[in-house]
Amino acid sequence: MANKKRIKSALISVFDKDGLGAIVEKLHQYGVKIYSTGGTQDFIEKLNIPVERVEDLTSYPSILGGRVKTLHPKVFGGILNRRENKTDQEQIAEYEIPELDLVIVDLYPFEKTVASGASHEDIIEKIDIGGISLIRAAAKNYDDVVIIPSVDQYATLLEILNASAETTTEQRKAFARDAFNVSSHYDSQIFKYFNQNSTPVFKESIVKSKTLRYGENPHQTGTFYGDLDAMFDILHGKELSYNNLLDVDAAVNLMEDFKNDEPTFGILKHNNACGFATRKTIKEAYLAALAGDPVSAFGGILISNKTIDTETAREVNELFCEVIIAPGYDATALEILKEKKNRVILVQKPVALPKKQFRTALNGVLEQDRDLITESVSNFESRTKTVPTESEKMDLVFANKLVKHTKSNTIVLAKNGQLLASGTGQTSRVDALRQAIHKAQSFNFDLKGAVMASDAFFPFPDCVEIAKNAGITAVVQPGGSVKDQLSIDYCNDNGLSMVFTGNRHFKH
């Protein structure tokens, strides 16, 4: 049943006051008695609306530098008393405790304070005690009390108040659900702050979510947990799908390793780069990336590390692609790209990527550090008599960045700042290499003078032999096999250069 309850009194104690004024004015119109304290009380008084001080209710001032304001039986008794319970009603009458029908709270911004790099002392002072207690108490007694646990619920409350001062059980229960979501997330963030590099406990909390059309396949449901608006400005196109988001994630992580390079363009399909190139202009980079695999590029995810100009947009517009990501777009370029109704156009914001990754496995969760190692020439250890030329070194760095972001087992072939082909997700490294060579040759690439990158070591010299026969002249790999010398010897006997990085880059 609806079980409507009228709001006759309210306790308001908030940090964020944006949007609060309209709520307070509505409550005043309905004759609601308002209690408040501190900065919220000052805010309400400036609206020329009567407000009772919590200190007058409790007969205690705000003490300990504001740490204790609302923690008192006259406050919590007013919230927790059950209106239909005879004993509760007798006790609040005996102790002169007023009923509180509405509690509006917005907690100290603990998470934002941590993210700001504030001092430990400032962070500790942003651990809300009274507010979190008010939220839990009012949510527990949702049958009689309305709880507004954060600024995110202000608009919903105002919509209700625009109709009347009454709420239904369903509405109060929904607010209680939101309240425990807010409080549990808040406590999780505090725990994470105290638990840095300590007890291994999986406790992740993400408040914002978006229901997707479906999951990986139409018969699977899907949800994205996170704040896409913090990551992108979505300028055009249809809703991003589950698979789109996986590809966008792969594209963003890959381009992160090229963000400070010369104009670079990538085309991805099923989380792997099928085209990738660095050139003097972004148009040239796009055309070189497209040439890497114009077949797989159809329906792909495009990403640029530079603003998309008009000339590049005209070229891109000839291709059917699901999503395009860039730090910006020229005005004319944007209009051209918008010609395709469903094409998703994203502006990537300068937001730091998470340093941790996790995924479900068996009946639990696996967590790991994100692979943050990106090798440069200074990290290369030459292990052969022949050393790479300067241009080969640049290509080895380029190919090694790509191999880090390609599904294992993988081999990447590159030349002159262009991905020629990759072997992806193979059960054998030899198969990955053969796949890459076949693909490169099918698009008429000349592999003479190309370089090869491997995500893991070569246990046998078969890969360097196959590479040599295809025309490849330089190799980068992690090293670490007990049989490394076999590959080194083959390279020495056949004039190949090979460098070790010491870092494996598996990606599953």
Other CB atoms within 10 Å distance of the CB of residue 254: 22
Q: What are phi and psi of 71, to 5 degrees?
A: -80, 90
Whether 140 is catalytic: yes
Contact 457, 481 (CB under 8 A): yes
Q: For 210, phi and psi rounded to 5 degrees?
A: -140, 125
Q: Which residues pair with 326 in a beta bridge?
A: 347
Task: Indicate if the alpha-carbon torsion angle 227, 230, 231, 235 is positive or negative.
Answer: positive
What's the CA angle centered on 191, arms 185 and 192, to 5 degrees? Answer: 90
Q: Of 26, 270, 338, 340, which one is the catalytic site residue?
A: 270
Give the CA angle between residues 334, 297, 221 to the nearest 5°.
85
User: What token pair was written down for 354?
Assistant: 């998470």
CB neighbour burial string for 430-464, b if at least 16 within 10 angstroms, e if fewer: bebbbbbbebbeeeebebeebbbbbbbbbeebbbb
Query: Considering all CA atoms of the chain, what is the largest pairwise distance in Å, rounded to the nearest integer?
Result: 98
Q: How far apart (Å, rounded) are the C-alpha atoms in residues 453 and 436? A: 11
Q: Which of 26, 140, 185, 192 is catalytic?
A: 140
Q: Position 95: which residue type?
A: Y
DSSP letter for 471, please. Answer: T
Answer for the pair 327, 307: CB distance below 8 angstroms, yes or no. Answer: yes
Catalytic machinery residues: 140, 270
